[in-house]
Amino acid sequence: MTLPGRSHNPIRFPLHDASVLLTCLAVASVSALSLLLLSSFSSRKPLAVVLGAVFFCLAAALSGNPRLLCLWMLMITLPFNLSKYFGPMIMNGGEIAYRIEISDVFLFALAAFLAVDLATGVRPGIRVPAIVFPASLIFLRGCYDFAAGPWPASAGHETVRMAKVALLFLVVVNEIETPRRLIHCSSALIAGLLVQASAGLAQWYKGAPLGLEILGETNSRTIQILSQTSVEGMKVWRVSAFMLHPNLFGAYLAVLLPTALALFLLPLSKSARLFFVAASALGVSALVATLSRSSWLSFAAAFALFLTLALAHRGLRPRAAVFAAGSLIALLALGLAFGGTISSRLFNSKEDATIGRELFKEDARRMIAEKPLLGWGLNSYTNEVAPFMKVSINSFEGKALPPVHHIYYLWWTETGIIGLGIHLFVWGAIVWTGIRNLRVADKTMYAVNAACLAGILGFVSDGFFSFTLRMNAPLKLFWVMAGMIFAIRYWWLRDRSVRRFVYVAAQAPGFDPQPVAGEGALL
């Protein structure tokens, strides 16, 4: 009797596929250059587009696995702000315009691969987790605001972004079908973290921007404001890598670092663990250099949860215990190296930012009291807040009005208590799915699931201090983590079904456990 097989061969670290790694790096460089030309020199737009497309097709062919290359490139380019904008921009604390981002190229390519699978019968259907349906209610609200609301452009920007984020979530859920593919996806995320952390530390070492504002570096005006308003009695330099603002960069690092730690705990090669240790060390150092207190808190919460879950798993516990001891030593060393910077930020910070956040929350509460049930409309906060502001609008000197630095107030203000309830329900469903996944026996699935749960907790903590989840890079990372959690859930349910089939078949007379050719035996 032949059974549906599953490979039990040891999982090799994906960076051993040198062709995929090298083509990832090459495509990233040339794609960035192409979009740079596309954005800066109108006369070279056709040339830049053609060169970029030709190079990517060539690199995909050389890699030997175009689909895997697209997955890596999607995760590496996810945090970049490199975009081509269409129409006027509206600075409102949410999506600011219609745009095509560099990561969209690889997202649409993966969606096309899935479509081909469906058309050719390779894939019988698409996995659509149930949380898509309540989340779509917010999307429908945005469509209504676009069609009949007072701010159709703002609602349209956010609605289009929601559609792209939903596509990203579904692509991740359907692309990750095995532990090996999960390691590929996670490793690509960490490669992206390594790129961003290296850029942030280069900024810190230079003490100035790298001159790559088009990629997402903080603009000079924001840099000047942050340097003067962060620490009492001194100017400081806060790094942002290519993510527009130090707080966004800090939140990105805080929620993604547990994934690097999770991969380090897996039984991979020494070179693999060295890669993840290096990414973790650079990431934590860059996190300190952001001087983002909310991100430090989010990382502390995420790290504590991940370490607790890792110690709870029998297979991960020995290495996790050693890792916990090593982490304490590393944190002590970090404290000695950056003690002055950390203490200055914690104990000598100017209170302007804190006072401002409280004033913004008071403004939001007044708006909520006016329309508590349905809110003022998707992505409309800064368009409606002026009459409710305690601070004179003239003090902003023509700049965009600031949104409330509290994601839950922002949701409540724009979509009412109904919309806030839907958001929290979707979050609860993601967390509950992650908790149920803790029963999975596979080390890879368990470790990455625990890291994603820890990352979600980091986002929950960060939401009380910022509107990070209304910014592109963190929002997309949140839904990638949610997609990984649901992909693990689907894999576990399928794995459990196979095991149950094997158990039932084993009771039959004359059972002969022959493995499928090329696969490891199930029993």
Q: Is residue 467 over pLDDT 70?
A: yes
Instruction: Please give the full DSSP string across 66-113, using - where no structure is assigned.
Output: HHHHHHHHHHHHTT---EEEES----SSS--SEEEEHHHHHHHHHHHH
Kind of pairing between the strands at 83-86 and 98-101:
antiparallel
Mean pLDDT of the chain: 81
pLDDT confidence tier of residue 328, bands split at 50, 70 and 90: confident
Would you state the pLDDT for residue 125?
87
pLDDT confidence tier of residue 36, bands split at 50, 70 and 90: low
Across the range 210-215, mean pLDDT stands at 78
| C-alpha to C-alpha distance for 360 and 272, rounded to whole angstroms | 45
Across the range 404-417, mean pLDDT stands at 94
Would you state the pLDDT for residue 8?
38
Burial class (CB in 10 A: 0-12, 13-18, 19+), 41: exposed
- Residue 1: CB atoms within 10 A of its CB come to 10
Across the range 253-259, mean pLDDT stands at 95
Would you state the pLDDT for residue 305?
94
Summarised one tens digit per residue, pLDDT across range 39-56 is: 554 444 455 555 555 566
- Is 0.75 surpassed by the pTM of this model? yes
Across the range 469-478, mean pLDDT stands at 93
| C-alpha to C-alpha distance for 472 and 301, rounded to whole angstroms | 23
More confident residue, 435 or 398: 435
Q: Is residue 372 over pLDDT 90?
A: yes
Across the range 293-300, mean pLDDT stands at 90
Q: Is residue 344 over pLDDT 90?
A: no
Summarised one tens digit per residue, pLDDT across range 217-241 is: 777 666 666 655 555 445 667 888 8
Give the chain's radius of gyration (CA, Å): 24
Q: Is residue 174 over pLDDT 50?
A: yes
Q: Which of 207, 269, 209 is nearest to 241 (CA)?
A: 209
Would you state the pLDDT for residue 519?
31
Give just the sign of the alpha carbon dihedral 49, 41, 30, 180. Answer: negative
Q: Which range among 96-105, 205-214, 389-398 shows the weakest confidence by mean pLDDT? A: 389-398
Would you state the pLDDT for residue 315?
86
Across the range 137-154, mean pLDDT stands at 93
Q: Which range among 154-158, 221-225, 298-302 shows the weakest confidence by mean pLDDT? A: 221-225
Q: Identify the DSSP state of 402.
A: P
Q: Is residue 12 over pLDDT 60?
A: no
Across the range 402-430, mean pLDDT stands at 94
pLDDT confidence tier of residue 69, bands split at 50, 70 and 90: confident
Q: Is residue 142 over pLDDT 50?
A: yes
| C-alpha to C-alpha distance for 229 and 344, rounded to whole angstroms | 13
Would you state the pLDDT for residue 15?
45
3-state SS class at 2: strand
Across the range 78-94, mean pLDDT stands at 83
Would you state the pLDDT for residue 61?
63
More confident residue, 31 or 98: 98
CB 138 within 8 A of CB 410: no
Structural tokens at position 387: 């009459």
Would you state the pLDDT for residue 521?
27
Q: Is residue 499 over pLDDT 70?
A: no
Would you state the pLDDT for residue 445?
93
Q: Identify the DSSP state of 437.
A: G
